[in-house]
């Protein structure tokens, strides 16, 4: 089993996705007149954090094993996730996989 490390760019992409998700719903549920808009905003903040954690967990589960299953080519893997595709690139060094790039489409 490999230890998973991340370069800054993939971390920024995951955090950016989570932030945009949260901001989208915060904006939609601000000054709507709905009595429960603060509850809805809080729910989407929690969901954005859950999605961020889910992305990290999914990447680590797929890439920590020795034999990676799926569509791989040249240390790049496409993983379906919530009607999106994650494209992950990595480098192997001894017992460590370093995630070098991540694209969420």
The pLDDT, as a whole number, for residue 91 is 96
- Per the structure, the complete domain to which residue 14 belongs is given by 3-104
What pTM did the predictor assign? 0.90
User: pLDDT tens, 44-84?
Assistant: 999 999 999 999 999 999 999 988 877 667 899 999 999 99
Number of structural domains in the chain: 1
CB 2 within 8 A of CB 97: yes
Half-sphere exposure of 51 (CA within 13 A, CB side): 20
How do strand 3-6 and strand 84-93 relate by DSSP bridges? unpaired
d(CA 34, CA 99) in angstroms, rounded, equals: 42
Q: Which of 41, 3, 35 is nearest to 22 (CA)?
A: 41
Question: Sheet containing 71-72: which strands, arranged edge to edge?
Answer: 3-6, 96-104, 84-93, 76-81, 71-72
The pLDDT, as a whole number, for residue 67 is 84
Cβ neighbour number for residue 84 with a 10 Å cutoff? 12
pLDDT top residue among 18 and 72: 18
d(CA 55, CA 49) in angstroms, rounded, equals: 10
């Amino acid at each position: 089993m490999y230890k998973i490390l991340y370069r800054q760019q993939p971390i920024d992409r995951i955090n950016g996705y989570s932030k945009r998700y949260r901001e989208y719903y915060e904006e939609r549920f601000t000054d709507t007149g709905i009595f429960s808009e603060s509850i809805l905003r809080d729910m989407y903040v929690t969901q954005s954090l859950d999605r961020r954690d889910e992305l990290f967990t999914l990447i680590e589960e797929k890439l920590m094993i020795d034999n990676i299953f799926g569509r791989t080519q040249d240390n790049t893997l496409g993983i379906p996730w919530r009607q999106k595709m994650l494209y992950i690139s990595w480098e192997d060094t001894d017992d460590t996989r370093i995630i070098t790039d991540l694209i969420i489409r």
